[in-house]
Chain A
Amino acid sequence: MVRPSPAAVKTERLLNLVICLLYTRRPLSKARIRKLVPQYQDSSPDAFDRMFERDKDELRELGIPLRTEAIVESFEDDLGYRIDEREYRLPDVAFSADELAVIGLASRAWSQASLAGPAAQALRKLQASGLERDDASVLGLEPLLHTAEPQFEAVRKAVVQQYAISFSYRSGRDRALSDRKVEPWALTNWHGRWYLTGFDQDRQAARVFRLDRFSGKASKLRKQQTYHVPAEHDPRAMITASQSGTATSAIQLRLRSGKGASLRKQAARITTGEVWDELTVEGARLDRIVPDILSLGPDAIVTAPEEARVAVRAAIQRILSTHQGSEA
């Protein structure tokens, strides 16, 4: 037989410890635990102390609710340990076959992303009761989540555990790097990108950061203060607000017939002509619609308002001058 590796010995010890602490009704003293868990018996008192402290931490890290309680019968205020079975076990929630099927989808959605392991483990736990999944009810559906940004895990941990982080951030406008200190509030995916919302300590204001503009590592700040996420925090509203401009009055434009399908989709009115169609677009933001109009090149002409007409013409003028005599 292959000799057990040191890790296997430790797994045995931890498993026996968990079983022992679940089995007992009353808290067990350290001395008692040492007698009851065979893998503790051979170690010196000092080594046992250190080992037991570490084991306790690791079990709690795993989410095992290990309680420290006073031992009632003891004359001195001795502390004992146990695991409350009701706190430990997965609540007895019965999922129906179609519910398990969508949970299966949710679990597989992470298959190419950072939480693939926990997502699969969660599904196994929920299925341990032997219920069948009705996968036919979700046939052909395949949600996929992606967390390609290298700093996703570091930021997610900070958001979940609520601690401030520092990172180097590249501005979207001029690509300049700056160091930021941020108290994370939420991590949100919007149109395929991850955004961190939080409080920027240097700027003393709420800010939005794109995870793909992080440069290098995000690390936990050495000086931590407790902070609270504002109750009314709406990450999506904050992200969209950070991207928006101001709305303009109705825009009049002419499109060559058959061109500009996406602008036509936005139009409130269209009057068709032989070569040119007249469109009115209401409530658009100038900074958004000018690029849309420009992208049509000579197939679109803005007629009103004057500011839109000037903006488009100036941009075309720039396109012309940047491409004049540039053939090397």
Chain B
Amino acid sequence: MTTFESATERLDRLLTLVPWLMTNQGIDLAQVAASFDVSQEQIVDDLQLLFVCGTPGHMPDDLIEASWEGGKLYVGNAETIATPLRLGRDEALALIVALRALAASTDPANRDAIDRALMKLEQASGESGSVANRVSFAVEDDQNAAHHLERLRSALSDHRRVSITYLAASRDESTDRDVDPMRVVQVGGYWYLEGWCHRADDVRLFRLDRIEALKVLEQDGTPPEHATSRPIGPGVFRPSEQDELVLLVLEPSAAWVVEQFPVESVVELADGYLEVGIRVADPQWLTRLIWRLGGQARVISPASLVESIRHAAQKALAMG
């Protein structure tokens, strides 16, 4: 981490730090550093800078008072900058865009706090807030998922187990599972339930719009102690090294596969064809993908997969 802070970036922090300290007199240095996401030394540096600044004249009475004795912070004589600077364009945009995304995916009956916060925020940010209209998270209206979300929130706060009927798209089958909820995460416009699945005996993610039925049970739903959340990136699903490597040749029209799924390797062949290596935990999932592509993808290896696809295609043609 050798990025240096510019003078204006530091000024921006100081103009927020002063009001913050003035309303939280006597607060712990460690807590301030954590809140501002900088080191304790940096906060002390900041205070040292503050007490040589002040109103014109710069006589001792004009200067800002700052002290950090015993790790307790006090700031005084800084009335001119006692209120934070209004929200900048990016600041207003960040909060408004995220709140709107949250509102859009929450059951209208339960988003009172979000709506109130949005209204006040738009009011507080004035013109800076208006550009927020140009960046947005469009969310599919899914009343079912919004309903599930509300019930999961109450299950989480009451520590209750839930029973769900879940349609796993990769297998195209519905299963009933008991789950101890750990959190509800929104990624890429979808909400996921992360919890301890008693059927898999492991932590699992369930997309809310694929939950066909959800019941909050009377049973205690505290997840086992060793159940830990997984870091969730833009692609929720990550392949593992142990999964079988399948080699495919994709026609140019099927190139989207490379963007959609995490692939191991891509080699560009002549005429826009791609040779793609993909790690597959579930061969059934891949078979379904190959069929879905209707001849735009050819499996090269393993030979057993080529054989099973050919066999299934012959069978399908014989039936219809």
Which residue numbers of A lie inside 8 Å of B, CB to CB? 4, 7-8, 10-12, 14-16, 18-20, 22-24, 36-38, 58-59, 61-64, 87-91, 93, 95-96, 98-103, 105-107, 109-110, 112, 115, 118-130, 136-137, 139-146, 148, 156, 159-160, 172-176, 185-193, 212-213, 229, 235-236, 239, 258-262, 265, 290-292, 294-298, 301-302, 309, 312-313, 315-324, 326-328
Contacting pair B7 A262 (CB below 8 A): no
Q: For the complex, what is the distance from the CA of A255 to the CA of B317, rounded to whole Å? A: 15
Contact-residue bracket for chain B: 35 or more
How many whole Å from B248's CB to the nearest CB in chain A?
A: 11
How many whole Å from B283's CB to the nearest CB in chain A?
A: 13
Contacting pair B134 A172 (CB below 8 A): no
Q: For the complex, what is the distance from the CA of A126 to the CA of B94, rounded to whole Å? A: 13
Select which of B89, B289, B309 is within 8 A of A323 by beta carbon: B309
Chain A residues, Cβ within 8 Å of B232 = 144
The answer to whether A235 and B136 touch (CB under 8 A), given A96-B116, A192-B190, is yes
How many whole Å from B273's CB to the nearest CB in chain A?
A: 10
Contacting pair A188 B56 (CB below 8 A): no
Chain A residues, Cβ within 8 Å of B303 = 327
Select which of A93, A139, A186 is within 8 A of B120 by beta carbon: A93
Contacting pair A122 B92 (CB below 8 A): yes
> What is the chain B residue whose CB lies nearest that of A236?
B138
Contacting pair A7 B7 (CB below 8 A): yes
Contacting pair B55 A11 (CB below 8 A): no
Select which of B88, B156, B255, B298 is within 8 A of A62 by beta carbon: B88
The answer to whether A127 and B120 touch (CB under 8 A), given A327-B306, A327-B307, is no
Per-position binary interface string of chain B over residues 282-303, scored 1 when its CB falls under 8 Å from any chain A CB and 0 otherwise: 0000011111111111111101
Select which of B85, B99, B134, B181 is within 8 A of A186 by beta carbon: B134
The answer to whether A229 and B134 touch (CB under 8 A), given A141-B153, A145-B101, A212-B259, is yes
Chain A residues, Cβ within 8 Å of B70 = none
**B267 interface residue (CB < 8 Å to A):** no
The answer to whether A62 and B292 touch (CB under 8 A), given A189-B189, A316-B313, is no
> What is the chain B residue whose CB lies nearest that of A129?
B23
Contacting pair A62 B8 (CB below 8 A): yes
Select which of A143, A186, A313 is within 8 A of B186 by beta carbon: A143
Contacting pair A128 B23 (CB below 8 A): yes
Q: For the complex, what is the distance from the CA of A320 to the CA of B306, rounded to whole Å? A: 10
How many whole Å from A240's CB to the nearest CB in chain B?
A: 9
**B137 interface residue (CB < 8 Å to A):** yes
Contacting pair B307 A172 (CB below 8 A): no
> What is the chain B residue whose CB lies nearest that of A21?
B80
The answer to whether A19 and B93 touch (CB under 8 A), given A12-B53, A36-B56, is no
Q: For the complex, what is the distance from the CA of A327 to the CA of B290, rounded to whole Å? A: 16
Contacting pair B49 A15 (CB below 8 A): yes
Contacting pair B123 A91 (CB below 8 A): yes
Q: For the complex, what is the distance from the CA of A4 to the CA of B52, rounded to whole Å? A: 12
Q: For the complex, what is the distance from the CA of A328 to the CA of B299, rounded to whole Å? A: 11
Select which of B8, B133, B309 is within 8 A of A319 by beta carbon: B309
A-B contact pairs, 30 of them (CB 8 A): A7-B5, A11-B7, A18-B11, A62-B11, A64-B85, A99-B117, A106-B95, A107-B95, A122-B88, A125-B84, A127-B20, A139-B153, A140-B157, A140-B181, A141-B153, A143-B101, A174-B253, A174-B255, A189-B189, A192-B234, A260-B172, A261-B174, A262-B169, A297-B288, A298-B319, A315-B294, A319-B309, A320-B314, A323-B309, A328-B300
